[in-house]
Amino acid sequence: MAIFDIFFPKHCPVCLRPLFPDGRLICPTCAGRIPYAGSPACFLCGAPITEEGEETCANCKNGRSFDRGAAYALYEDPAMRRMIGRVKFHGEVQLLDYPCRDFALRKRELLLSLGAEALVPVPVSGKRFKERGFNQAEEIAKRMQPVLGIPVAADVLFRTGESSDQKTLTRVERRENLFRAFRAAEQAGGLKSVILVDDILTTGSTMNACAAALKRAGVRKVFSASLLVVRGAEDG
């Protein structure tokens, strides 16, 4: 038992209680409390589908710039909201260890079948990166990489600057704002297919804008992998 683990134990991502220093990443009882996105799921974004016989959710019914997607758990669940909040605003990235590994294991067959050459994190703004010291999407991708064996490429997609506050814009203005917010590096054109990784997918507008930027650079196929997904969001 390492001294470090005694004084600085890891915490369960669900209940946030300290874990015994024996290699556990989650409490045994809490492992059964993960609110998985479940099935049937949207073919494009992985969000739960409530309409019987539909292949896509309401947000994806008109198509996407990304070609297929998967999601892990529901953002509406209080424990998941609390967990991702502790990661983003308190720097507790260790809380991602279990859910990211579990996500990669549960979706491994699907994600590997896509033939992706890289995991591409959705970038945060320079302001957010300075505040937090990390990009949560990149932290998620790094934790999925050992299970999938797909390298992380954090240098092929960038934000062009500080975008306008989405909350003050109309739906059309939001799309245009996001369309201008991302650009892909020249080397992205050398990739045939990639998996975009993000922490939360609401309507998928950000993921869609990132996928469009990658395809403009020459990437042929773009897939999405969202740790958390919002069920039935109408805008955002």
Reported as a single tens digit per residue, the pLDDT across 178-189 is 878 899 999 898
Residue 6: pLDDT band (50, 70, 90) is low
Residue 236 confidence (pLDDT)? 34
Convert the pLDDT of each residue in 97-122 to its tens digit.
Answer: 999 999 999 999 999 999 999 999 99
Boundaries of domain holding 160: 36-229
Averaged confidence pLDDT in the chain: 90
Residue 234: pLDDT band (50, 70, 90) is very low
Residue 203 confidence (pLDDT)? 86
Residue 235 confidence (pLDDT)? 36
Q: Residue 119 falls within a domain, yes or no? A: yes
Q: Residue 11 falls within a domain, yes or no? A: no
- Cα separation of 14 and 17, whole Å? 8
Residues 6+ apart with CB under 8 A from 117: 150, 151, 191, 192, 193, 194
Residue 23: pLDDT band (50, 70, 90) is confident
Helices (H), the chain: 3-7, 78-90, 97-106, 108-113, 126-132, 136-148, 171-181, 205-216
Which CATH number belongs to the domain containing residue 152 in this structure? 3.40.50.2020
Mean pLDDT value of segment 143-147:
98
- Residues β-bridged to residue 182: 159
Q: Residue 217 falls within a domain, yes or no? A: yes
Q: Residue 163 falls within a domain, yes or no? A: yes
Q: Residue 188 falls within a domain, yes or no? A: yes
User: Counting beta carbons within 10 angstroms of the beta carbon of residue 76, is it exposed (0 to 12), middle (13 to 18) or buried (19 or more)?
Assistant: middle
Residue 1 confidence (pLDDT)? 44
Residue 4: pLDDT band (50, 70, 90) is very low
Q: Residue 40 falls within a domain, yes or no? A: yes
Q: What is the count of structural domains for the chain?
A: 1
Q: Residue 93 falls within a domain, yes or no? A: yes
Residues 6+ apart with CB under 8 A from 209: 65, 175, 178, 179, 181, 182
Q: Residue 200 falls within a domain, yes or no? A: yes
Residue 22 confidence (pLDDT)? 74
Helices (H), 28-93: 78-90
Mean pLDDT value of segment 131-160:
96
